[in-house]
Amino acid sequence: MPRLLRHRRIKLFLLIFLLVAAVGWIYWNRTQKVDMTASVPADALAFIETNDLPAIAAGIEESEGWRKLAAPLGAPPNLLPHRWLIKLARWTGIGSADAVLAARSQVALVISQPQTTQTGTELTIKPLAALLIETHTAPRRMRPALEKHVEEFANRIYGQPTLTRKQVDGVELAAWSAPDGQRQLVLTVVDTLAIVGNDESIVLNCADVRRGRRAAMNSDPRLAEARQRLGATDSNLFGFIPKAGVKPAIQAWALSRAGNSADAAVAIQLISNTFGNLIDSFAWTSSFSNSGSEDRCFVALASGVPDQIRNSISPEVRNTEDAFQFVPVDAVSFTSYRFRSADGLWRDLNAVFSSRSDVVAAIAGRPLLRSSLEPYGILDADAFFSAVGPRLELIRVGYEGPAVLVTEIFDKAALRKVAQLRLGANPKIESVGEAELMTSTKDNWSAAFLGSYFLMGPADSLRQCLSARSQSKSITTSEGFRRAQKPIDQTLPMISVSFTSEKQSAISFVELFSKQERSAFSTSSEAIQQNVQTLPLAVSVTILKDGGLEWSSRSSFGILGSLFTTFAPARPR
């Protein structure tokens, strides 16, 4: 009996020892999150980071948009199969290299100063970008897997790339170059950090930051303020554009819409200088839930700017039951702007632009503001804003063509003159129900007066807006609109409220992950259209807060989905 008890004690001791050792080993191998901005160059123009890739995948999978569209579009129900293997790899480091990468990695995308070249009248801009992957795993284990994935991606986008290896200042580089010699992907691993970039210079810059040879972005006080304001620690994604990146970001946005001619380049430079002086930084967070993506952006304005516009831009809380009555039920997007005083805001904006710009921008700023209204038919902005009430709506009926402008009437005679400037002499005048409709004889542009409202825009779209109101078939009767509007706190001083159909954007995002050889519309068109019709509209709200503007939105896949559909390489069919 004593011997038996002794054996039992030994077994119990060994069991306890093994359990303690296992717990200690798991604790020792656990991943401790690091600050990714400690590896981002201080002079970077922008970065986006995520600390948990599986959480993003799970959020997308659980969203309503994915649940309804994945099957008919041929996308897998789970972006990361064998989730339990991912959890095991996260806690223990046990698993394939790919599983460990997916489970443990923190990822940041860094944008640096682009390379610009001009040939004749054509301007070419090459953005410099690097993907930072904190693997939390020894490089000897991760590097082969990383090289495999980079090579597969290079083969996909370059065709037959050429691989070269070299060492620069103690950094081992592997580069896959396209046959034209103009494009490349470069990889290096520094400690547990993998760096993949589209140019050797940005890869070496990030490597120097990691090795403590260059300053990092984590010292920017605006960054810490933005993280705290937006609750970045509780979000799936965080993005930041410092002051140095504001003007290039505005230039990139304007260039994507204006083209790359020499004349456009001059105008874009003026736009970026004018608006860039008013903005200190951008910050963005994104979180996923079963309803979709919740995004928050904060635009930090230059000191004093919020106070200059607060009295005119911050609206009084008003009854909005009559809002959106002109919006057709199948409209693509529509936005309601609410100000305390439209005329006062116009004067304040002109004063802000003039006082915070250099001589050239100050002179050009006022015409620039005026020209921003010309697509809506407003050729005399001063007269327009002095004649309208505090609420304006923009209604985009189709994906192509200008929007319809709707506003409350303050001075009908003045608005009639504004309309005549755009319509020209002797417009065609007719009655459409209770509305007075005026249409240009030169082009398909109309203006209308109905009760206390003034409308202007393309004739066909404007007629649809009048019909939506007269027949009580506006967007307010749509279930998708009501679902999107329900979470909005109507007592907030919202500057703008915007709704957008996600029929195209949601399908485009999910289709990126389709495994079908040909478009799913050839076999599942009816199911796709039926399911996408049941999704709520995307909604966003803008509010003026201390220090800047806060923009919040709810949508199927958010800004992340937009980035994917914009920049993801096209899939061969």
- Alpha-carbon distances of 556 from 19, 161, 233, 535, rounded to whole Å: 44, 37, 22, 8
- Alpha-carbon distances of 469 from 166, 324, 402, 415, rounded to whole Å: 68, 9, 20, 21
**pLDDT value of residue 273:** 74
Length of the chain, please?
573
**pLDDT value of residue 3:** 59
Helices (H) and strands (E) in the chain, counts: 20, 20
Greatest Cα-to-Cα distance within the chain, rounded to the nearest angstrom: 116
The CA dihedral of 75, 552, 33, 17, to the nearest 10 degrees, is -70
**pLDDT value of residue 290:** 83
Amino acid letter, 311: N
Reference 273, options 251, 258, 304, 296; nearest CA is: 251
**pLDDT value of residue 571:** 57
Dihedral class, residue 551 (left if φ above 0, else alpha if ψ from -120 to 50, else beta): beta
**pLDDT value of residue 63:** 92
**pLDDT value of residue 50:** 92
Query: Coil, strand or helix: which one is 181?
Result: coil
- Alpha-carbon distances of 546 from 79, 279, 303, rounded to whole Å: 40, 14, 10
Mean pLDDT by 10 residues, the chain (573 residues): 59 60 52 86 93 89 91 87 69 73 87 75 75 89 90 90 91 91 90 93 94 91 91 90 88 66 59 81 92 92 90 74 85 93 89 70 65 88 93 92 93 94 90 91 92 94 93 90 88 91 90 74 75 92 92 93 78 53
Query: Coil, strand or helix: which one is 561?
Result: helix
**pLDDT value of residue 400:** 86
CA distance 21 to 18: 5
CA distance 193 to 324: 51
Dig out the tokens for 14 from the structure: 């060994």
**pLDDT value of residue 466:** 94
β-pair type (435-439, 538-545):
unpaired
Query: Coil, strand or helix: which one is 372?
Result: coil
Q: What is the full DSSP assignment across 114-145?
A: EEEEEETTEEEEEEEEEEEEE--S-HHHHHHH
Q: What is the full DSSP assignment across 312-338?
A: HHSPPP---TTTTTT-BTT-SEEEEEE
Predicted TM-score (pTM) of this structure:
0.86
**pLDDT value of residue 355:** 76
Reference 59, options 569, 570, 555; nearest CA is: 555
**pLDDT value of residue 89:** 64
Residue 327 CA, chain-centre distance (Å), reads 25
Reference 249, options 114, 365, 368; nearest CA is: 114
CA distance 204 to 487: 47
Please tell me the number of Cα atoms within 13 Å of 239 on its side-chain side: 23
Residue 431 backbone dihedrals phi, psi, to 5 degrees? -105, 130
Task: Tell me the per-residue pLDDT of 409-420, one tens digit each, with 9 for 90 and over.
Answer: 999 999 999 999
Using a 10 angstrom Cβ sphere, with 0-12 exposed, 13-18 middle and 19 or more buried, the burial of residue 178 is: middle
Task: Tell me the per-residue pLDDT of 203-250, one tens digit each, with 9 for 90 and over.
Answer: 999 999 999 999 999 988 899 999 999 988 889 999 999 998 988 888
**pLDDT value of residue 238:** 95
CA distance 339 to 465: 23
The CA dihedral of 56, 61, 62, 68, to the nearest 10 degrees, is 140
Reference 52, options 134, 130, 149, 131; nearest CA is: 134
Report DSSP state, residue 36. Answer: G
